[in-house]
Amino acid sequence: MYKRVPGTRDILPEEVYSWQWIEEIARGILRNYAYQEIRTPVIEEASLFSRGLGEFAEIVQKQMFLIKNKEDTYALRPEGTASIVRAYIENNLDKIKKFSKFYYFGPMFRLERPQKGRLRQFHHIGAEAIGSIDPNIDIEVISLADTLLRSWGVNGYQIQINTLGCPEDKKKLVQLLEKELKDEAAALCQECQVRLNKNVLRILDCKNEACKQITAKLKLQDKHLCADCQEHFKEVRSGLDGLGVKYEVARHLVRGLDYYTRTVFEVKHGQLGAQDALGAGGRYDNLVEELGGPKVACVGFAFGVERLMLVTQPAAKTTGGLTAYLVTLGKEASREGRILLDQLRKNGIPCETDYEGRSLKGAMRAANELGVKLVLLLGEDELKKNVVMVKDMAAGSQEEVSRQELIEKLKEKLVQNSKRKDQN
């Protein structure tokens, strides 16, 4: 028997309703904030990521799913930002308008060791604002992430923010860290000893206890930041304060991808265990130019949907919006039922029937299990009179309805039932 690949999941129909709920809420909010959906391929040239995310980023070094053919090496995308920037440049979107806002949903792939909240195929809901250096857009993006979390009913999360500064400031921070950590090299974990020369920033968010103790002693202030970057960060914080977005400044937050500059942020949740980030993002003011496009500044974020699922109780469950269930009695009614079902569906009334030869009782039970509110009975009597018996399960009533009036009547009942639901 075949099994799914480790670190991947089947999202079965019952769970898919929750996914749709999460996505529908996100779509509504992202539209309110004027973001437009973008869909890019799941495979890209591998070098897009090594160049975009950084040769020494963990994702590039260890986690890429590579597909090699004779001439090319492709990668299953490990994240969305680089792909969106590629699409922005390739499609000359900057020529259409200088400033654009995109959102995306979709699977991402990282060859990680699977554990709770860490998969090899997982899903992002992300947003990217391309073309502005204005701190207002950092503020918008972080408050958008906060609004999404509230709308999904997530409680108990913390937003951490920091600034890495511009590339010159980042270089200064790297030098500062290299200097401060040089003497501690022997006490660092093996991975951080390598990072000391290649990716020193990542030592700051190493999970190893010994490394944490060493980095906790570092007095990280904003000494490495130029006046512009300090001012930008001040503006971002005061904007978030003005909007009532709760956050804490975490000087150790550096993020694992090279493209980040200035504002970075992460949303943490205590219920998630070791993989405690629900989502993350920040500015990447040089990535578009780095990948061959114009010099435009950007900021964005992405949430991991599987991790969101661990901390939300999505409201939508079961029926998937089925309204009616048709029960036919006898061959003739079954033939006529096919036509009726077709008419109802084409008129926007979601309905189902029995395909398993159930008895009347069995069919009624099946309707009940589906949570359907209206059962339509079609037997010999009804055929003769050209009517359908409509049983309203919620109201506990039944009535004969002529075939001509059926669709209108069902639509009316739909409205009544949804009003009743709203009142409850």
Residues forming the site for ligand HAM (CB under 6 A): 79-81, 110, 112, 117-119, 122, 124, 126, 128, 277-282, 300-302, 304, 306-307
Residue 216 contacts residue 164 (beta carbons within 8 Å): no
CB-wise, 45 or 405, nearer to ligand HAM? 45
Contact 312, 285 (CB under 8 A): no
Question: Minimum distance from CB of 381 to ligand HAM (Å)?
Answer: 57
Q: Which residue is closest to ligand HAM by CB?
A: 304
Return the number of the residue (232 or 373) whose C-beta is nearest ligand HAM. 232
Q: How far is the CB of 109 from ligand HAM (least distance, A)?
A: 9
Measured from the CB atom, the residue of 35 and 122 that comes closer to ligand HAM is 122
User: Minimal distance in Å, beta carbon 190 to ligand HAM?
Assistant: 22
Is there a contact between 284 and 261 (Cβ–Cβ < 8 Å)? yes
Count Cβ atoms within 10 A of the Cβ of residue 267 and give its class: 0-12 exposed, 13-18 middle, 19 or more buried: buried
Q: How far is the CB of 309 from ligand HAM (least distance, A)?
A: 10
Residue 148 CB, shortest distance to ligand HAM, in Å, is 13
What single DSSP character describes residue 264? E
Q: Checking DSSP bridges between strand 36-37 and strand 100-109, what pairing results, if any?
A: parallel
Pick between residue 10 and residue 183 the one whose CB is nearest to ligand HAM. Answer: 10
- For helices 331-346 and 403-423, angle between their N-to-C axes, nearest 10 degrees: 60
Min dist CB 100 to ligand HAM, Å, is: 14
**Are 265 and 146 in contact, with CB atoms under 8 Å apart?**
no
CA dihedral sign, ordered 19, 21, 27, 33: negative
Q: Which two tokens stand for residue 346?
A: 């084409």
Alpha-carbon distances of 214 from 118, 210, 220, rounded to whole Å:
27, 6, 12
**Closer residue to ligand HAM in complex, CB, 82/240:** 82
- Nearer to ligand HAM by C-beta: 110 or 391? 110
